[in-house]
A and B are shown apart, each in its own frame.
Chain A
């Protein structure tokens, strides 16, 4: 180790520190939303008596705050049905985001199905896929009853057996090995 080499290494290390001081905050700035935990929002959508067990009622609520109309989304809510083994005091809130690419689905009363207009995805009454390209059942929102109102909370995804997992994007399979291929992200809240 000569004096020349020692100086060279020291200056390069200093330069590295200076460069990192500039680059790392910029990279962190861009990457922050991936690691940010979103605030959990609970939105009231109606009194418990407004919802029945045999049909869905459409609701509109805010999912992203502070951006006005663009932050709102639609959903369908019903009471739990004892015929399906659900608790009648619990409510089921289904997301209208189709699990194929993200188009909004529509509940058709006569058929008791959800139909997606974009590519012909069809879901049954519980949200399971019965036709078309969707890769998993419709996402759901957590529900609770507070202050005499049914409240709708964060979104979560389900496996094909309707077991809850952390929310995924449309197009991502769930369950089994897919939990590793499409890992859960810290930016979404955990499922119930």
Chain B
């Protein structure tokens, strides 16, 4: 099978060797079958224009000195994807009712095939995501990658951090065991200590003056629908800005201010 040439930017395509047929140049049925993936991609591309976008994303230039620290952002996205996928499977078995939540989680952990594994992935994935998002934030900060013109990207990143913490808070209540219940009581009480609006904010979060039946359903709706939607939208904006503005070189390389030569490199 030939790799579809449409996915490689034009300047990087390898010209056919002497004697080798150029793609799509005919030949026997086996030759033509080898072009099948390229044909399928070509069909989609003619109707969407997607390969231009994909090559722009996958073949974009990165500065000299790009190192392993730059993978932390993708690591966070990967952790979020794992959370989303395991979350979907957990949601198939979970009941967000104060009388049935704990039993549904026990049933999922003990009776469902691989249930303990999926729940464990989700639980530890949450910790992994928090750790990696902080490492990513630290990397961006110490590399000065928040400066002009990337300030908006930093702001979006901070909002994403806050949304991630909200996901942690709302998700913590859902198993509804003793630890979840009391941790949520304490978190709501801390919210209540804010001046003037604190008591009302705590009431709004808890749906009433006590953690009750509506609280767990409110937290479930926030955890499943509201915040993931916001996170996905903001990740889209965050990635768009990263691709559009490009990444910066590490600070130890950027110290050189005199350009080595004025000749522009053409690829």
- Residues of chain A having any CB pair with chain B under 8 Å: 30-31, 33-34, 36, 38, 63-64, 66-71, 101-103, 167-172, 180-185, 187-188
Q: Is the CB of A38 within 8 A of B195?
A: no
B98 lies within 8 A of chain A by Cβ: yes
- Cα of A36 to Cα of B203 in the assembled complex, Å: 10
- Bound: A139/B79 CA distance, A: 43
Structural contact, B185 and A102, CB atoms closer than 8 A: yes
Give the distance in Å from the alpha carbon of A169 to the alpha carbon of B188 in the complex. 9
Do A170 and B199 have beta carbons less than 8 Å apart?
Answer: no
| Further 19 A-B residue pairs, CB within 8 A, beyond A33-B204, A33-B206, A169-B202 | A33-B208, A34-B204, A36-B208, A38-B208, A64-B212, A67-B99, A68-B98, A71-B98, A101-B190, A169-B198, A170-B189, A171-B193, A172-B198, A180-B196, A182-B199, A183-B200, A185-B199, A185-B200, A188-B209
The list of the 8 closest CB pairs from A to B, nearest first, reads A169-B192, A33-B207, A171-B193, A64-B212, A67-B98, A170-B189, A67-B213, A34-B203
Q: Which residues of B contact A102 (CB under 8 A)?
A: 182, 185-186, 188-189
Is there an interface contact between A64 and B213, defined as CB atoms closer than 8 Å? yes
- Given A67-B98, A172-B198, A187–B203 Cβ distance below 8 Å? yes
Residues of A close to B188: CB separation below 8 A? 102, 169
Interface residues of B in 175-226 (CB under 8 A from A): 176, 181-182, 185-186, 188-190, 192-193, 195-196, 198-200, 202-204, 206-214
Check B186–A103 contact: CB distance below 8 A: yes
B192 touches A33 (CB 8 A): no
Instruction: Report whether A71 and B208 are in contact in the complex, using a CB–CB cutoff of 8 Å.
Output: no
CB distance from A184 to the nearest CB of B (A): 8
| Contact residues in A for B195 (Cβ distance below 8 Å) | 181-182
A105 to chain B, nearest CB (A): 13
A101 touches B189 (CB 8 A): yes
A8 vs chain B, min Cβ distance (A): 30
Chain A residues near B210: list those with CB within 8 A. 63-64
Q: State the CA gap A114–B193 with chains docked (Å).
A: 23
Query: Hey, which chain B residues are within 8 Å of A66, CB to CB?
Result: 213
* Count, A-B residue pairs, CB within 8 A: 89
Q: How many residues of B contact A (CB 8 A)?
A: 29
Would B199 and A30 count as touching, CB distance under 8 A? no
Please give the distance in Å from A167's CB to the nearest CB on chain B: 7
Contact B214 A70 (CB under 8 A): no
User: Separation in Å of the A98 CB from the closest CB of chain B?
Assistant: 10
How far does the alpha carbon of A103 sit from the alpha carbon of B184 in the complex, in Å? 11
Which of A30, A38, A102, A172 is the most central at the interface, judged by chain B CB atoms within 10 Å of its CB?
A: A102
Q: How far is the CB of A133 from chain B (nearest CB, A)?
A: 12
A sample of 10 cross-chain residue pairs with beta-carbon separation below 8 angstroms, ordered by A number, consists of: A30-B204, A38-B208, A67-B98, A67-B212, A67-B213, A70-B181, A70-B212, A71-B212, A102-B186, A171-B193
A49 to chain B, nearest CB (A): 31
Docked-complex contact B203 and A185, CB < 8 angstroms = yes
Residue of B nearest to A100 (CB): B189
| A residues less than 8 Å from B206 (CB atoms) | 33
- Using Cβ atoms and an 8 Å threshold, which residues of chain B touch A170? 189, 192
- A180 nearest CB neighbor, chain B only: B196
Closest Cβ of chain B: how far from A45's Cβ, in Å? 18
Contact of A169 with B99 at beta-carbon distance under 8 Å, contacts A33-B204, A102-B189 already known: no
C-alpha spacing A131/B190, complex, angstroms: 20
Would you call A68 and B99 a contact (CB within 8 A)?
yes
Instruction: Give chain B residues whose Cβ lies under 8 Å from the Cβ of A67.
Output: 98-99, 212-213
Contact, CB under 8 Å: B203 / A171: no
